[in-house]
Structure 1
Amino acid sequence: MLDANKITEIYFIIDEFSKEFNKTLSAHSLNETKPVKKRNRKFSLSDSEVMTILVLFHAMGFKNLKHFYLFYVGKHLTEEFPDLVSYNRFVELQKRTVVPMSLFLKTCCLGQCTGISIIDSTPLRVCHIRREKQHKTFKNIATKGHSSTGYFFGFKLHIIINDKGEILDFMFTQANVDDRDPLKNRNFHKRIFGKLFGDKGYISKDLFEQLFIDGVHLVTKIKKNMKNSLMLLQDKIALRKRSLVETVYDQLKNICQIEHTRHRSFDNFITNLLSGLIAYSFFPKKPSINVDFENNRLVA
Protein backbone atom coordinates (compact mmCIF):
# COMPACT_ATOMS: atom_id res chain seq x y z
CA MET A 1 0.00 0.00 0.00
CA LEU A 2 1.10 3.56 -0.69
CA ASP A 3 1.67 5.87 2.26
CA ALA A 4 0.09 9.31 2.62
CA ASN A 5 3.23 11.10 1.42
CA LYS A 6 3.30 9.13 -1.84
CA ILE A 7 -0.41 9.79 -2.45
CA THR A 8 0.17 13.51 -1.89
CA GLU A 9 3.15 13.43 -4.26
CA ILE A 10 1.10 11.78 -7.03
CA TYR A 11 -1.73 14.26 -6.53
CA PHE A 12 0.65 17.22 -6.57
CA ILE A 13 2.22 16.18 -9.89
CA ILE A 14 -1.17 15.57 -11.50
CA ASP A 15 -2.66 18.79 -10.11
CA GLU A 16 0.24 20.92 -11.36
CA PHE A 17 -0.26 19.47 -14.83
CA SER A 18 -4.04 20.05 -14.66
CA LYS A 19 -3.52 23.72 -13.81
CA GLU A 20 -1.28 24.23 -16.84
CA PHE A 21 -3.65 22.21 -19.04
CA ASN A 22 -6.70 24.26 -18.03
CA LYS A 23 -4.76 27.51 -18.46
CA THR A 24 -3.65 26.53 -21.97
CA LEU A 25 -7.11 25.27 -22.88
CA SER A 26 -8.83 28.49 -21.83
CA ALA A 27 -6.24 30.60 -23.68
CA HIS A 28 -6.91 28.79 -26.97
CA SER A 29 -10.70 28.44 -26.65
CA LEU A 30 -12.89 30.38 -29.07
CA ASN A 31 -15.18 33.01 -27.60
CA GLU A 32 -18.82 32.90 -28.64
CA THR A 33 -20.07 35.92 -30.64
CA LYS A 34 -23.39 35.88 -28.83
CA PRO A 35 -23.11 35.37 -25.09
CA VAL A 36 -25.16 32.40 -23.97
CA LYS A 37 -26.14 31.84 -20.39
CA LYS A 38 -24.44 28.71 -19.13
CA ARG A 39 -24.03 27.13 -15.77
CA ASN A 40 -20.40 27.24 -14.73
CA ARG A 41 -20.78 25.24 -11.57
CA LYS A 42 -17.61 23.68 -10.22
CA PHE A 43 -17.54 19.94 -9.65
CA SER A 44 -17.16 18.88 -6.05
CA LEU A 45 -14.50 16.38 -7.16
CA SER A 46 -11.88 18.01 -9.39
CA ASP A 47 -10.33 16.38 -12.45
CA SER A 48 -7.03 16.11 -10.57
CA GLU A 49 -8.69 14.15 -7.78
CA VAL A 50 -10.48 11.85 -10.23
CA MET A 51 -7.23 11.13 -12.07
CA THR A 52 -5.40 10.54 -8.79
CA ILE A 53 -8.01 8.06 -7.58
CA LEU A 54 -7.82 6.16 -10.87
CA VAL A 55 -4.02 6.03 -10.71
CA LEU A 56 -4.11 4.87 -7.07
CA PHE A 57 -6.53 2.09 -7.99
CA HIS A 58 -4.05 0.65 -10.49
CA ALA A 59 -0.94 1.34 -8.43
CA MET A 60 -2.30 -0.48 -5.38
CA GLY A 61 -3.22 -3.62 -7.30
CA PHE A 62 -6.97 -3.62 -6.58
CA LYS A 63 -9.17 -5.73 -8.87
CA ASN A 64 -12.51 -3.94 -8.63
CA LEU A 65 -12.84 -0.16 -8.99
CA LYS A 66 -16.23 0.02 -7.26
CA HIS A 67 -15.02 -1.77 -4.16
CA PHE A 68 -11.84 0.31 -4.14
CA TYR A 69 -13.79 3.57 -4.33
CA LEU A 70 -16.48 2.67 -1.81
CA PHE A 71 -14.60 0.63 0.75
CA TYR A 72 -11.04 1.97 0.57
CA VAL A 73 -11.17 5.57 -0.67
CA GLY A 74 -14.54 6.20 1.04
CA LYS A 75 -13.31 4.88 4.41
CA HIS A 76 -9.53 5.33 4.58
CA LEU A 77 -8.80 8.33 2.31
CA THR A 78 -11.50 10.76 3.41
CA GLU A 79 -8.90 13.24 4.67
CA GLU A 80 -7.13 13.27 1.29
CA PHE A 81 -10.45 13.43 -0.65
CA PRO A 82 -13.02 15.22 1.56
CA ASP A 83 -15.54 15.96 -1.23
CA LEU A 84 -16.23 12.47 -2.51
CA VAL A 85 -19.27 11.90 -4.71
CA SER A 86 -21.35 8.78 -5.29
CA TYR A 87 -19.80 5.99 -7.31
CA ASN A 88 -22.20 6.51 -10.22
CA ARG A 89 -21.23 10.18 -10.37
CA PHE A 90 -17.54 9.24 -10.18
CA VAL A 91 -17.96 6.97 -13.22
CA GLU A 92 -19.50 9.88 -15.13
CA LEU A 93 -16.62 12.19 -14.17
CA GLN A 94 -14.11 9.70 -15.58
CA LYS A 95 -15.08 10.69 -19.12
CA ARG A 96 -13.85 14.26 -18.52
CA THR A 97 -10.35 13.01 -17.75
CA VAL A 98 -9.62 11.08 -20.96
CA VAL A 99 -7.93 13.97 -22.82
CA PRO A 100 -5.93 15.42 -19.90
CA MET A 101 -4.93 11.93 -18.81
CA SER A 102 -3.61 11.02 -22.27
CA LEU A 103 -1.65 14.29 -22.47
CA PHE A 104 -0.28 13.78 -18.96
CA LEU A 105 0.89 10.29 -19.92
CA LYS A 106 2.57 11.53 -23.09
CA THR A 107 4.26 14.56 -21.56
CA CYS A 108 5.09 13.59 -17.97
CA CYS A 109 5.23 9.80 -17.63
CA LEU A 110 7.41 8.49 -20.48
CA GLY A 111 11.06 7.59 -19.96
CA GLN A 112 14.20 8.67 -21.81
CA CYS A 113 15.79 6.60 -24.58
CA THR A 114 19.19 5.15 -23.62
CA GLY A 115 20.12 3.70 -27.02
CA ILE A 116 18.83 0.23 -26.12
CA SER A 117 15.10 -0.17 -26.72
CA ILE A 118 12.73 -3.15 -26.90
CA ILE A 119 9.43 -3.27 -28.77
CA ASP A 120 6.55 -5.74 -28.52
CA SER A 121 2.77 -5.96 -28.62
CA THR A 122 0.28 -7.70 -26.37
CA PRO A 123 -3.41 -8.63 -26.77
CA LEU A 124 -6.05 -6.76 -24.78
CA ARG A 125 -8.93 -9.21 -24.72
CA VAL A 126 -12.41 -7.82 -24.13
CA CYS A 127 -14.14 -11.21 -24.03
CA HIS A 128 -13.47 -14.88 -24.68
CA ILE A 129 -12.94 -15.68 -28.34
CA ARG A 130 -15.99 -18.00 -28.31
CA ARG A 131 -18.23 -15.08 -27.38
CA GLU A 132 -17.02 -12.65 -30.04
CA LYS A 133 -20.31 -12.87 -31.98
CA GLN A 134 -22.39 -12.13 -28.86
CA HIS A 135 -20.24 -9.27 -27.55
CA LYS A 136 -22.01 -5.89 -27.70
CA THR A 137 -19.94 -3.35 -25.73
CA PHE A 138 -17.23 -3.11 -28.39
CA LYS A 139 -19.33 -4.10 -31.39
CA ASN A 140 -17.84 -2.74 -34.66
CA ILE A 141 -14.80 -1.50 -32.68
CA ALA A 142 -12.94 -4.57 -31.43
CA THR A 143 -11.64 -7.08 -33.97
CA LYS A 144 -10.33 -10.63 -34.11
CA GLY A 145 -6.57 -11.06 -34.06
CA HIS A 146 -3.90 -13.72 -33.65
CA SER A 147 -0.95 -13.86 -31.28
CA SER A 148 1.57 -16.48 -30.20
CA THR A 149 -1.04 -17.89 -27.79
CA GLY A 150 -3.81 -18.20 -30.39
CA TYR A 151 -6.78 -16.17 -31.60
CA PHE A 152 -8.31 -13.43 -29.44
CA PHE A 153 -11.00 -10.76 -29.69
CA GLY A 154 -10.21 -7.20 -28.66
CA PHE A 155 -7.33 -4.80 -29.24
CA LYS A 156 -3.52 -4.61 -29.22
CA LEU A 157 -1.18 -2.53 -27.12
CA HIS A 158 2.22 -1.75 -28.67
CA ILE A 159 4.91 -0.35 -26.38
CA ILE A 160 8.61 0.51 -26.63
CA ILE A 161 10.65 0.33 -23.43
CA ASN A 162 14.28 1.05 -22.55
CA ASP A 163 16.67 -1.20 -20.63
CA LYS A 164 15.43 0.36 -17.36
CA GLY A 165 11.89 -0.90 -17.93
CA GLU A 166 10.53 2.60 -18.59
CA ILE A 167 7.89 3.05 -21.30
CA LEU A 168 9.24 5.26 -24.09
CA ASP A 169 6.10 5.30 -26.23
CA PHE A 170 2.90 3.34 -26.78
CA MET A 171 0.21 2.85 -29.39
CA PHE A 172 -3.25 1.35 -29.16
CA THR A 173 -4.66 -0.45 -32.23
CA GLN A 174 -7.27 -3.00 -33.26
CA ALA A 175 -6.39 -6.67 -32.93
CA ASN A 176 -6.03 -7.35 -36.66
CA VAL A 177 -3.31 -4.70 -37.18
CA ASP A 178 0.12 -6.02 -38.12
CA ASP A 179 2.81 -5.47 -35.47
CA ARG A 180 4.99 -3.68 -38.03
CA ASP A 181 2.40 -1.05 -38.94
CA PRO A 182 2.90 1.20 -35.85
CA LEU A 183 6.64 1.41 -36.57
CA LYS A 184 5.87 2.81 -40.02
CA ASN A 185 4.44 5.84 -38.24
CA ARG A 186 7.29 8.30 -37.61
CA ASN A 187 5.56 9.69 -34.51
CA PHE A 188 5.73 6.30 -32.79
CA HIS A 189 9.52 6.03 -32.89
CA LYS A 190 10.61 9.67 -33.16
CA ARG A 191 11.96 9.60 -29.58
CA ILE A 192 13.97 6.42 -30.23
CA PHE A 193 17.60 6.17 -31.37
CA GLY A 194 20.24 3.45 -31.37
CA LYS A 195 19.30 -0.26 -31.27
CA LEU A 196 15.67 -1.42 -31.25
CA PHE A 197 15.16 -5.12 -30.42
CA GLY A 198 12.06 -7.00 -31.52
CA ASP A 199 10.81 -10.51 -32.23
CA LYS A 200 10.50 -12.23 -35.62
CA GLY A 201 7.16 -10.51 -36.26
CA TYR A 202 9.01 -7.26 -37.04
CA ILE A 203 11.13 -8.69 -39.85
CA SER A 204 10.75 -6.51 -42.94
CA LYS A 205 13.38 -5.26 -45.35
CA ASP A 206 11.50 -2.05 -46.14
CA LEU A 207 10.85 -1.35 -42.46
CA PHE A 208 14.51 -1.98 -41.59
CA GLU A 209 15.66 0.51 -44.23
CA GLN A 210 13.09 3.12 -43.20
CA LEU A 211 14.08 2.90 -39.53
CA PHE A 212 17.79 2.94 -40.38
CA ILE A 213 17.30 6.24 -42.23
CA ASP A 214 15.57 7.60 -39.11
CA GLY A 215 18.55 6.62 -36.95
CA VAL A 216 17.11 3.39 -35.51
CA HIS A 217 18.80 0.00 -36.01
CA LEU A 218 16.17 -2.76 -35.85
CA VAL A 219 17.60 -6.04 -34.49
CA THR A 220 15.60 -9.30 -34.63
CA LYS A 221 16.19 -13.03 -34.78
CA ILE A 222 15.88 -14.71 -38.18
CA LYS A 223 13.30 -17.23 -39.36
CA LYS A 224 14.16 -20.80 -40.23
CA ASN A 225 13.81 -20.24 -43.99
CA MET A 226 16.13 -17.20 -43.96
CA LYS A 227 19.84 -17.16 -44.60
CA ASN A 228 21.98 -16.69 -41.53
CA SER A 229 23.74 -13.36 -41.14
CA LEU A 230 26.51 -12.16 -38.86
CA MET A 231 25.49 -10.29 -35.73
CA LEU A 232 27.53 -8.41 -33.18
CA LEU A 233 28.04 -10.27 -29.92
CA GLN A 234 26.67 -7.24 -28.08
CA ASP A 235 23.42 -7.49 -30.05
CA LYS A 236 23.15 -11.23 -29.35
CA ILE A 237 23.49 -10.59 -25.63
CA ALA A 238 20.88 -7.82 -25.63
CA LEU A 239 18.53 -9.85 -27.84
CA ARG A 240 18.45 -12.61 -25.23
CA LYS A 241 17.00 -10.13 -22.72
CA ARG A 242 14.21 -9.00 -25.03
CA SER A 243 11.85 -10.88 -22.71
CA LEU A 244 12.14 -7.88 -20.36
CA VAL A 245 9.15 -6.39 -22.17
CA GLU A 246 7.10 -9.48 -21.22
CA THR A 247 7.82 -8.74 -17.55
CA VAL A 248 6.58 -5.19 -18.08
CA TYR A 249 3.38 -6.50 -19.70
CA ASP A 250 2.97 -8.93 -16.81
CA GLN A 251 3.00 -6.06 -14.31
CA LEU A 252 0.67 -3.97 -16.47
CA LYS A 253 -1.88 -6.78 -16.68
CA ASN A 254 -1.63 -8.42 -13.26
CA ILE A 255 -0.87 -5.41 -11.04
CA CYS A 256 -2.22 -2.43 -13.00
CA GLN A 257 -5.20 -4.37 -14.39
CA ILE A 258 -5.14 -2.87 -17.89
CA GLU A 259 -6.88 -5.99 -19.25
CA HIS A 260 -10.22 -7.34 -18.04
CA THR A 261 -13.60 -8.22 -19.56
CA ARG A 262 -15.92 -6.18 -17.33
CA HIS A 263 -16.00 -2.93 -19.32
CA ARG A 264 -19.38 -1.27 -19.85
CA SER A 265 -18.28 1.34 -22.41
CA PHE A 266 -15.37 2.29 -24.66
CA ASP A 267 -14.69 5.43 -22.59
CA ASN A 268 -14.31 3.28 -19.49
CA PHE A 269 -11.90 1.01 -21.37
CA ILE A 270 -9.69 3.94 -22.45
CA THR A 271 -9.55 5.54 -18.99
CA ASN A 272 -8.68 2.16 -17.49
CA LEU A 273 -5.84 1.68 -19.98
CA LEU A 274 -4.41 5.20 -19.63
CA SER A 275 -4.57 5.26 -15.82
CA GLY A 276 -2.91 1.83 -15.71
CA LEU A 277 0.01 3.05 -17.83
CA ILE A 278 0.33 6.17 -15.65
CA ALA A 279 0.32 4.06 -12.48
CA TYR A 280 3.15 1.93 -13.87
CA SER A 281 5.27 5.04 -14.40
CA PHE A 282 5.01 5.79 -10.66
CA PHE A 283 6.33 2.35 -9.65
CA PRO A 284 9.50 2.92 -7.59
CA LYS A 285 11.12 -0.26 -8.92
CA LYS A 286 10.74 -1.46 -12.50
CA PRO A 287 12.17 -4.58 -14.18
CA SER A 288 15.48 -3.72 -15.81
CA ILE A 289 18.67 -5.14 -17.27
CA ASN A 290 22.24 -3.92 -17.12
CA VAL A 291 24.41 -4.90 -20.07
CA ASP A 292 28.19 -4.60 -19.68
CA PHE A 293 29.23 -4.29 -23.33
CA GLU A 294 32.92 -3.94 -22.46
CA ASN A 295 33.09 -7.47 -21.04
CA ASN A 296 30.16 -8.80 -23.14
CA ARG A 297 28.16 -10.02 -20.19
CA LEU A 298 24.91 -9.35 -18.37
CA VAL A 299 25.08 -7.72 -14.98
CA ALA A 300 22.32 -8.62 -12.52
Structure 2
Amino acid sequence: MTYKDYITTVYVIVDEVLKLIGHKHKTNKPKFSDSELITLLVYATTFRKGEIKSTLKEFKENYSDMFPYVPELPAIVKRAKKLKKLVKILIILVKNLLSNKESLIAILDTKPIPVCELTRIKRCKKVSGKLYKGNNGHREWFGYKLGLIIDTYEQPIS
Protein backbone atom coordinates (compact mmCIF):
# COMPACT_ATOMS: atom_id res chain seq x y z
CA MET A 1 0.00 0.00 0.00
CA THR A 2 1.49 3.35 -1.06
CA TYR A 3 1.34 6.45 1.11
CA LYS A 4 -1.36 7.95 -1.13
CA ASP A 5 -3.47 4.82 -0.81
CA TYR A 6 -2.97 4.84 2.95
CA ILE A 7 -3.97 8.52 3.21
CA THR A 8 -7.05 7.95 1.05
CA THR A 9 -8.11 4.91 3.09
CA VAL A 10 -7.61 6.73 6.39
CA TYR A 11 -9.53 9.76 5.13
CA VAL A 12 -12.49 7.64 4.03
CA ILE A 13 -12.59 5.74 7.35
CA VAL A 14 -12.32 8.92 9.44
CA ASP A 15 -14.89 10.80 7.35
CA GLU A 16 -17.40 7.95 7.59
CA VAL A 17 -16.91 7.62 11.36
CA LEU A 18 -17.38 11.37 11.82
CA LYS A 19 -20.59 11.22 9.76
CA LEU A 20 -21.85 8.26 11.80
CA ILE A 21 -21.35 10.02 15.12
CA GLY A 22 -22.85 13.25 13.77
CA HIS A 23 -19.73 15.38 14.16
CA LYS A 24 -20.03 18.82 12.56
CA HIS A 25 -17.48 21.58 12.08
CA LYS A 26 -18.27 25.11 13.29
CA THR A 27 -18.54 26.47 9.75
CA ASN A 28 -20.46 24.81 6.95
CA LYS A 29 -17.59 24.68 4.46
CA PRO A 30 -14.18 24.81 6.16
CA LYS A 31 -11.04 25.10 4.02
CA PHE A 32 -9.48 22.22 5.97
CA SER A 33 -12.04 19.79 7.38
CA ASP A 34 -11.78 17.85 10.62
CA SER A 35 -11.50 14.64 8.57
CA GLU A 36 -8.44 16.04 6.81
CA LEU A 37 -6.96 17.17 10.13
CA ILE A 38 -7.42 13.77 11.74
CA THR A 39 -6.03 12.06 8.62
CA LEU A 40 -2.94 14.24 8.87
CA LEU A 41 -2.55 13.39 12.57
CA VAL A 42 -3.00 9.64 11.97
CA TYR A 43 -0.37 9.78 9.22
CA ALA A 44 1.97 11.74 11.52
CA THR A 45 1.64 9.23 14.36
CA THR A 46 1.93 6.21 12.07
CA PHE A 47 4.85 7.20 9.84
CA ARG A 48 6.51 10.31 11.35
CA LYS A 49 6.61 9.48 15.10
CA GLY A 50 4.13 12.28 15.82
CA GLU A 51 6.18 15.00 14.11
CA ILE A 52 3.43 17.32 12.88
CA LYS A 53 5.81 19.96 11.51
CA SER A 54 7.54 17.59 9.07
CA THR A 55 4.19 16.02 8.16
CA LEU A 56 2.74 19.44 7.28
CA LYS A 57 5.73 20.15 5.05
CA GLU A 58 5.37 16.76 3.37
CA PHE A 59 1.63 17.22 2.80
CA LYS A 60 2.20 20.68 1.26
CA GLU A 61 4.95 19.42 -1.04
CA ASN A 62 3.79 15.93 -2.03
CA TYR A 63 0.04 15.74 -1.46
CA SER A 64 -1.19 19.17 -2.58
CA ASP A 65 -3.50 17.44 -5.07
CA MET A 66 -5.25 15.62 -2.20
CA PHE A 67 -5.08 18.49 0.30
CA PRO A 68 -5.26 21.79 -1.62
CA TYR A 69 -5.21 23.88 1.57
CA VAL A 70 -3.10 22.93 4.57
CA PRO A 71 -3.06 25.46 7.43
CA GLU A 72 0.04 26.50 9.36
CA LEU A 73 1.29 24.67 12.44
CA PRO A 74 -0.33 26.90 15.14
CA ALA A 75 -3.78 26.47 13.60
CA ILE A 76 -3.31 22.69 13.37
CA VAL A 77 -2.20 22.47 17.02
CA LYS A 78 -5.11 24.63 18.18
CA ARG A 79 -7.70 22.51 16.37
CA ALA A 80 -6.02 19.25 17.39
CA LYS A 81 -6.26 20.27 21.06
CA LYS A 82 -10.00 20.89 20.67
CA LEU A 83 -10.48 17.44 19.11
CA LYS A 84 -7.97 15.64 21.38
CA LYS A 85 -10.24 12.88 22.71
CA LEU A 86 -11.80 12.19 19.32
CA VAL A 87 -8.39 12.14 17.64
CA LYS A 88 -6.99 9.61 20.16
CA ILE A 89 -9.93 7.27 19.64
CA LEU A 90 -9.79 7.53 15.85
CA ILE A 91 -6.02 6.97 15.75
CA ILE A 92 -6.44 3.74 17.72
CA LEU A 93 -9.39 2.70 15.55
CA VAL A 94 -7.63 3.35 12.24
CA LYS A 95 -4.38 1.70 13.33
CA ASN A 96 -6.27 -1.40 14.44
CA LEU A 97 -8.32 -1.54 11.23
CA LEU A 98 -5.32 -1.14 8.96
CA SER A 99 -2.77 -3.16 10.91
CA ASN A 100 -1.72 -6.46 9.49
CA LYS A 101 -1.95 -8.86 12.42
CA GLU A 102 0.16 -11.41 10.55
CA SER A 103 3.20 -9.16 10.40
CA LEU A 104 6.41 -11.10 9.91
CA ILE A 105 8.62 -8.57 11.68
CA ALA A 106 8.46 -8.19 15.45
CA ILE A 107 10.58 -5.94 17.64
CA LEU A 108 11.55 -7.03 21.15
CA ASP A 109 12.55 -4.52 23.79
CA THR A 110 13.21 -5.06 27.48
CA LYS A 111 13.48 -2.67 30.39
CA PRO A 112 14.69 -3.38 33.92
CA ILE A 113 12.29 -2.55 36.75
CA PRO A 114 14.44 -2.31 39.91
CA VAL A 115 12.83 -3.58 43.13
CA CYS A 116 15.54 -2.56 45.60
CA GLU A 117 19.12 -1.31 45.83
CA LEU A 118 21.93 -3.82 45.30
CA THR A 119 23.04 -3.46 48.92
CA ARG A 120 19.62 -4.67 50.12
CA ILE A 121 19.39 -7.83 47.98
CA LYS A 122 19.55 -10.20 50.96
CA ARG A 123 16.75 -8.38 52.81
CA CYS A 124 14.41 -8.01 49.82
CA LYS A 125 11.15 -9.88 50.41
CA LYS A 126 9.51 -9.28 47.02
CA VAL A 127 12.00 -11.29 44.95
CA SER A 128 15.07 -13.35 45.72
CA GLY A 129 17.71 -15.26 43.83
CA LYS A 130 20.21 -14.74 41.04
CA LEU A 131 17.42 -14.85 38.47
CA TYR A 132 16.41 -11.26 39.31
CA LYS A 133 19.90 -9.75 39.13
CA GLY A 134 20.96 -8.20 35.86
CA ASN A 135 23.27 -5.80 34.09
CA ASN A 136 22.13 -3.34 31.44
CA GLY A 137 25.48 -2.03 30.28
CA HIS A 138 26.11 0.91 32.56
CA ARG A 139 24.86 -0.40 35.91
CA GLU A 140 23.62 -3.47 37.72
CA TRP A 141 20.03 -3.78 38.90
CA PHE A 142 17.95 -6.17 40.97
CA GLY A 143 14.31 -6.73 40.09
CA TYR A 144 12.07 -7.62 37.19
CA LYS A 145 12.78 -7.41 33.48
CA LEU A 146 9.81 -6.12 31.52
CA GLY A 147 9.65 -7.36 27.94
CA LEU A 148 7.51 -5.94 25.13
CA ILE A 149 7.10 -7.29 21.62
CA ILE A 150 5.57 -5.00 18.98
CA ASP A 151 4.88 -5.45 15.28
CA THR A 152 5.85 -3.05 12.50
CA TYR A 153 2.62 -1.10 13.04
CA GLU A 154 3.64 -0.32 16.65
CA GLN A 155 0.91 -2.56 18.02
CA PRO A 156 1.84 -4.68 21.07
CA ILE A 157 1.86 -8.42 20.42
CA SER A 158 2.70 -9.59 23.94
**TM-score range for the pair, normalised by the shorter chain length:** 0.5 to 0.7
Specify the alignment match of 1:258 in structure 2.
none
Q: How does 1:194-233 map to 2 (within 5 A)?
A: 223-224=127-128
Unaligned runs of 5+ in 1: 27-38, 112-146, 151-221, 226-241, 252-279, 290-300
TM-superposed CA distance for 1:75, in Å, is 0.4
CA–CA distance in structure 2, aligned partners of residues 63 and 109 of structure 1: 14
Say which structure, 1 or 2, has more relative contact order (CA 8 Å, 6+ apart).
1
- Of residues 49, 74, 92, the one that matches 1:88 is 74
Q: Calculate the TM-score normalised by the size of structure 1.
A: 0.32
Report the counterpart of residue 149 of structure 2 in structure 1: 247
Q: Is the 8 A contact 2:149 2:157 kept in 1?
A: no
- How many residues in Structure 1 have an aligned counterpart in Structure 2? 119
Cα distance, 1:45 vs. partner? Answer: 1.0
Q: Which residue identity does 1:73 align to in structure 2?
A: F
The reply to whether residue 97 of structure 1 matches residue 83 of structure 2 is yes
Higher helix fraction: Structure 1 or Structure 2?
2
Q: Which residue of 2 aligns with 1:215?
A: none
2:8 paired residue number: 8
TM-score, with structure 2 as normaliser: 0.56
Partner-residue secondary structure (3-state), 1:148: strand
**Pairs within 5 Å for 1:1-300:** 2-21=2-21, 23=22, 40=27, 42-62=29-49, 64-70=51-57, 72-104=58-90, 148=113, 223-224=127-128, 243=147, 246-248=148-150, 283=153, 288=157
Aligned-partner Cα distance in 2 for 1:106–1:59 = 10
Identity %: 19
Give the aligned CA root-mean-square deviation in angstroms.
4.0
> 1:247 aligns to what SS in structure 2?
strand
- Point out where structure 2 has 5 or more consecutive residues left out of the alignment: 98-111, 116-125, 130-145
